A = this chain, B = another copy of it.
Amino acid sequence: MSKTTHFLAETAQVDEAAIQALPGSRKIYVEGTRPDIRVPLREISLSPTTTSGVDEANPPLLVYDTSGPYTDPEADIDLRRGLIELRRAWIDERDDTERLDGPTSEYGHRRANDPTLAPLRFDLTRTPRRAKPGRNVTQLHYARQGIVTPEMEFIALRENQRRQALSTKYAGTEEVERILGHQHPGENFGARLPEEITPEFVRDEVAAGRAIIPCNINHPESEPMIIGRNFLVKINGNLGNSAVTSSIEEEVDKMTWGIRWGADTIMDLSTGANIHETREWIIRNAPVPIGTVPIYQALEKVKGAAEDLTWEIFRDTLIEQAEQGVDYFTIHAGVLLRYVPLTARRVTGIVSRGGSIMAKWCLYHHRESFLYEHFEEICEICKRYDVAFSLGDGLRPGSVADANDEAQFAELETLGELTRIAWQHDVQVMIEGPGHVPMQLIKENMDKQLEYCDEAPFYTLGPLTTDIAPGYDHITSGIGAAMIGWYGCAMLCYVTPKEHLGLPDKDDVKTGIITYKIAAHAADLAKGHPAAQRRDNALSKARFEFRWEDQFNLGLDPDTARKYHDETLPKDSAKVAHFCSMCGPKFCSMKISQEVRDYATEHGLDGDRQAVIKGMEEQAERFREQGGELYRDV
């Protein structure tokens, strides 16, 4: 809050904590078929394994990188200028958009010309783009025409994480490859996970509506990414101010912090002061897609009186935000009048903010909401900027008791109906999901969503598997998120420890992100995503070999791992110690068992059991003769 009064555009500075490369890591770029397709990956360098004084190299690990230019020391970061327009040429070349003279929304125009906002305003020198009359600029539209866009190629390279190259260029010994290459078969529940993601596969998935690429033509700064169950599971981080707390700078900091730790998209859910300007700062500096819930801002415009909302105000808000570059809109068009009373006997009624706003509007006017009635007009707007739909679950359960009830599934059916309408307009769609759901009821959500919404990507909040742990809802929901991700959910919306209690701060954002990276990765592993296990294997190999620095650096949060280790064994020498404070030097099982292994492999005891037993008999005596000492001095 302290920053609120001090924020000034001319002195805005990037959060120093967000622009360091991660430990042991460097940014690399994989080039596509044209030089301006440069796909960022993070390369984690590993130290060699030393056995009997001989070093054996460990190949570096490449991981998906959401942090954008911030972690590239070559990049010149200046929040006031924003990020470079990565996709500008691609959009230009398609020649289906035009530059406007300025914002065409009434509100956007007004804000741009309000002199009192000058100190806060991002200095955007260019004007918005819009589709030329009669053109449709969505990735879905291109995909259906058989066009593989640069965005699609970018995504294919990004999803592959260069895993094919790894087995050749970076190949270590056969032993290293055996360990790193091992992967358990997955249970994919109908997902299709090819060994190699090709640009054509991306196009095909988008064309079928099974995946979306949120990339508004007015957000050329963003690095293309895809959301679909046949790709890596993604996560979203929410931020945004409220009337009670926070400032523009804090929210930008949360964004750069969130993507550093792995947020694939960011939703700006601001409901407080200067929503328009806050969003501009975020989008101009975001290398990931930005989502919003436009009804929040629309409600601000009518001073919080839901019944005063009109289609005209909402429409103007959509255009305002589309011209700023919002990549996906949460639209609660499935809250139908007849569903509202179905929530009356719930334990927690309607807990979606957007859902409750629309419910109130419907009750007051006794008619279907303007979101539902004007849905095709919303599609018309979306296709002129390529804004994807995130069809909101306004009636999601807010408690375990309300899970999977009639209101929830009735709305889901309507979301399916709206999905098909959006698809008629070639507008990309994903579907939002619950909420609070006990474990045994989670799969029904996924199954019904696939059925009702014809495999459009599912995007769920948690779900929280119990209500009884305020302060720990990142965990109650991380459990449900991992499970639904396994079952086929394409993107998981994080929940922070502050859920139900207050606005998350930067620490909460990080905790939420890491928890959800765990859930998403656990889901990728369980689905059997090709090479998902490579990182687990590399980390476990490092752990077993007491390569502490590598263990930290391969983790999702090297800083915290290092800090925890150092609390009890801070000395540098402990980083090469063959133990930690958990067990101490004499009791470390890793240490003992590595020596069991050395002993067994040295003596050829890793074959079939009979040979092993015979071999061991012969070797046991020699082992004793040598003193039987398996411990080594550190």
B544 touches A398 (CB 8 A): yes
Inside 8 A of A518's CB, which chain B residues have their CB? 465-466, 468-469, 472, 475-476, 479
The answer for the CA separation of A620 and B307 in the assembled complex, in Å, is 12
A469 touches B349 (CB 8 A): no
A350 touches B593 (CB 8 A): yes
A359 touches B472 (CB 8 A): no
Interface residues on A, range: 35 or more
A439 touches B343 (CB 8 A): no
Shortest CB distance A299–B (Å): 7
Q: Does A573 contact B (CB under 8 A)?
A: no
A536 touches B351 (CB 8 A): no
Nearest CB in chain B to that of A579: its residue: B244
B343 touches A467 (CB 8 A): no
A479 touches B522 (CB 8 A): yes
Inside 8 A of A403's CB, which chain B residues have their CB? 184
Query: What is the 8 Å Cβ interface bit string for chain A, positions 291-323, against chain B (1 contact, 0 not)?
Result: 000001001000010110000000000000000
B364 touches A564 (CB 8 A): no
A540 touches B593 (CB 8 A): no
Inside 8 A of A15's CB, which chain B residues have their CB? none
The answer for the CA separation of A237 and B244 in the assembled complex, in Å, is 39
A580's partner among B441, B501, B621 (CB-CB below 8 A) is B501
Please tell me how many copies of the chain the complex holds. 2
Q: Does A137 contact B (CB under 8 A)?
A: no
Q: Which of A491-526 contact B (CB under 8 A)?
A: 497-503, 505, 514-515, 517-519, 521-523, 525-526
Shortest CB distance A525–B (Å): 4
A557's partner among B349, B467, B469, B521 (CB-CB below 8 A) is B469
Shortest CB distance A394–B (Å): 9
Shortest CB distance A470–B (Å): 4
B554 touches A471 (CB 8 A): no
Q: Does A605 contact B (CB under 8 A)?
A: yes
Inside 8 A of A631's CB, which chain B residues have their CB? 304
Segment among A68-76, A89-97, A374-382, A596-604 that sits at the interface with chain B? A596-604
Q: Does A57 contact B (CB under 8 A)?
A: no
Known contacts A342-B609, A631-B304, A399 near B589 by CB under 8 Å? no
Q: Does A428 contact B (CB under 8 A)?
A: no
Shortest CB distance A149–B (Å): 32
Inside 8 A of A607's CB, which chain B residues have their CB? 341
Known contacts A468-B535, A540-B348, A541-B347, A353 near B589 by CB under 8 Å? yes
15 contacts between A and B (CB under 8 A): A243-B585, A243-B586, A306-B592, A344-B605, A357-B592, A400-B536, A440-B526, A466-B521, A467-B536, A468-B555, A469-B556, A471-B561, A479-B479, A501-B564, A502-B565
Q: A353-B588, A360-B592, A400-B540 given. 8 additional CB < 8 A pairs?
A: A242-B582, A348-B593, A356-B593, A439-B522, A467-B537, A469-B555, A478-B479, A498-B582
